[in-house]
Amino acid sequence: MRQDSYWNVVPAEEIYRIFKRIIIAPGFQLISKGMLAKQVNDEIIHLIKLTAYKGAIYGLQWGVSLTYVPHRWENELRWHRSFKSAVFDLSDELNDMPEHRHLVELLQVDCFPSALHGPKLFEKNLKREWEEVRPILTGWLDRANHLQGVLLRAEEQMQRAWPGPHHWPPPSLVHAFTLARLGRAQQAMAELNAIICNEVRDPNGKLATALQKARTTVNSGRLESAAADSVK
């Protein structure tokens, strides 16, 4: 029978201190609690995040924040173009990658970091997860350090049979905006129209405007000011 001492809840602040101490990746900076970021270029920011799941379990999530993809469009267009405002537009984690199911099963035995059994065990298990996940995470990000790579990562996710809740925004939306960013406007608009019919709501037609901005900024060869995070 388990003793009361088996339960030792780790405070959130201690969890983030452990994350900061353990998860060290070249070029990454801490931009918020449990979130590391690396500026790749004017279009792409790499992210690594400590994500909380049900049952006080934590795991690592990684992906890209894209300055040409809006995160709001119902009433007005809103962007996340600055380094500090970076959010996931396309991301992955072990649970969503069928090719790494064996590793998930291995870590599930007793190695996923839990906030219920004290800071020492949390740190030990986060170190173990980092050791196992780092090559996968690094490879994923290395292949998504340019627009063509982002396009391929989006295509992979579009073809995936998701084991859990789908990511937001849908990878198909990221795919359409990346096509526009690459100057493939006609294909991008055709994909966007299909997405609006089947996956997302766009009651005021703002996404077409955003797609046009993604296309025209690549033609001008520069981004608009990173300070302009809201465009009505």
Contacts of 61 (CB under 8 A, 6+ apart): 47, 48, 49, 50, 51, 88, 91, 92, 93
Q: 3-state class of 38 per DSSP? A: strand
pLDDT value at residue 221: 40
* pTM confidence score: 0.85
pLDDT value at residue 103: 64
> What are the structure tokens assigned to 218, written together?
């690549």
| Chain-centre distance for alpha carbon 19 | 17
- Domain span holding position 171: 4-231
**Which string of b and e fits 17-42 if b means at least 16 CB within 10 Å?**
ebbeebbebeebeebeebbbbbebee
Going from the first residue of the chain to its last (232 residues), give the mean pLDDT of each consecutive group of 10, the final group possibly shorter: 66 94 95 96 96 87 96 90 94 74 62 83 91 92 96 92 71 96 95 91 91 70 38 36
Number of independent structural domains in the chain: 1
